[in-house]
Amino acid sequence: MSDPMFKLAHISDVHLGPLPKLTFRELASKRITGFVNWRLNRRKHLFTDTLERLVDDMETKAPDHIAITGDLVNLATGIEIRAAADWLEEVGDPLKVSVVPGNHDAYVPGAHDKAMAAWYPYVRGDGDAQDWNEDRKIFPYMRVRGPVALIGCSTSIATPPFSATGYFGRRQARATADLLKKAGEQGLFRVVMIHHPPVRGAAATHKRMIGIRRFAAALGTGGAELVLHGHTHLNTVYWLSTHRGQDHIPVVGIASASQGPGGEKPRAGYNLFNISGGPGTWEVTCERFSLNEKATGIELEDIRVFYHNGRPLGFSNPVEQAPEE
């Protein structure tokens, strides 16, 4: 008898729109640069109907779980954060949807905590307190669903204008390694969710993740099978070589879930991972579904095998890790 298939869907960079009307006080901050960027660029290519079409199609595949890797909002205003909470309820039950924040969810100081309080059911780890507590570190968290352990990490920090960097610090690295080790001992397929790509050169300098080597060391210590990220709005696959140099972990990015046709970035899409087997025998395929050129529907665009009989497939040269920034 074959192992049951676990279907994990991944979307990212939702950027719910349109922007609400902003007060002068809200604009008297980094938000003014984001507001101008939206007016000049993003609103031309990020569409709510695209997002709805994508999510509706994803739901027809009946995924067992949905991973959302950040940037649910644009300028992290109170109205946007509350709207994102309502949208999450439409996407699914908190038990079936896991979220990590992106840089836009922490666009200005204080926004991150407001967002996490509003979205807490979707970022609450198994066994964590039922209610949000601003004094408690909630990342990393771990949620076990079937044969899968979802480890949610945060690189979300408020940054100066024209900067979109992320930060992965020592405390989070140690805790992530501990959770991964615990999940490995339970024989689970370990999926790490993070917004910024934890790979050197995957994002421009002003958008990079600080703590890339630290992240690789945490995964080298704890072990992992898959990393999901967003931020770049690109469909990418990197292979992370841990500090031992023997483990190759697929690092998979996905286009923005709201990206319409005609832009420089690829059209909206989602990945659907089909996971079966067990330790040493994992079988993992990934199907990527994307908005078609005419924006009339969602179509299967790519199929890729990541694991066969427990062995990772498809990596070429492992990504070299940069010296710590």
Domain with 301 in it: what CATH number?
3.60.21.10
Tell whether 230 is covered by a domain: yes
* Res 117 pLDDT > 90: yes
Tell whether 236 is covered by a domain: yes
Tell me how far CA of residue 117 lies from CA of 82, 97, 124, 130, 131, in angstroms: 10, 16, 10, 11, 9
Tell whether 322 is covered by a domain: no
The three-class DSSP label of residue 186 is: coil
Produce one character per residue of 166-197: b if its CB has 16 or more CB atoms within 10 Å, e if not.
bbbeeebbbbbbebbebbbeeebbbbbbbbbb
Tell whether 143 is covered by a domain: yes
Tell whether 320 is covered by a domain: no
End-to-end CA distance of the chain: 49
Mean pLDDT of 183-209: 94
Distance CA 258, CA 302 (A): 19
- With a CB cutoff of 8 Å and minimum separation 6, the contacts of 261 are 267, 291, 293, 294, 295
The per-residue pLDDT for 322 is 38
Tell me how far CA of residue 213 lies from CA of 21, 44, 233, 268, in angstroms: 41, 36, 23, 30
Number of domains, the chain = 1
The residue type found at 325 is: E
pLDDT band at 21 (very low <50, low <70, confident <90, very high): low
- β-strand 148-152 against 141-145: which pairing, if any? antiparallel
pLDDT band at 60 (very low <50, low <70, confident <90, very high): very high
- With a CB cutoff of 8 Å and minimum separation 6, the contacts of 163 are 206, 207
Tell whether 308 is covered by a domain: yes
Tell whether 292 is covered by a domain: yes
Burial class (CB in 10 A: 0-12, 13-18, 19+), 75: buried
Q: Which domain holds residue 60?
A: 6-312
The per-residue pLDDT for 104 is 87
Tell whether 325 is covered by a domain: no
pLDDT: which is higher, 119 or 34: 119
The per-residue pLDDT for 4 is 82
pTM: 0.88
pLDDT: which is higher, 31 or 291: 291
The residue type found at 221 is: T
Question: Comparing C-alpha atoms, which of 47, 103, 117, 105 is closest to residue 77?
Answer: 105
pLDDT band at 317 (very low <50, low <70, confident <90, very high): very low
- With a CB cutoff of 8 Å and minimum separation 6, the contacts of 237 are 250, 251, 252, 253, 304, 314
Distance CA 109, CA 81 (A): 14
Q: Is the peptide bond before 18 cis (omega within 30 degrees of 0)?
A: yes
* Res 102 pLDDT > 90: yes
Strand partners, 275: 6, 284
Tell me how far CA of residue 189 lies from CA of 180, 212, 226, 268, 300, in angstroms: 10, 22, 8, 27, 25
pLDDT: which is higher, 228 or 76: 228
Question: Comparing C-alpha atoms, which of 128, 126, 130, 123 is closest to residue 146?
Answer: 126
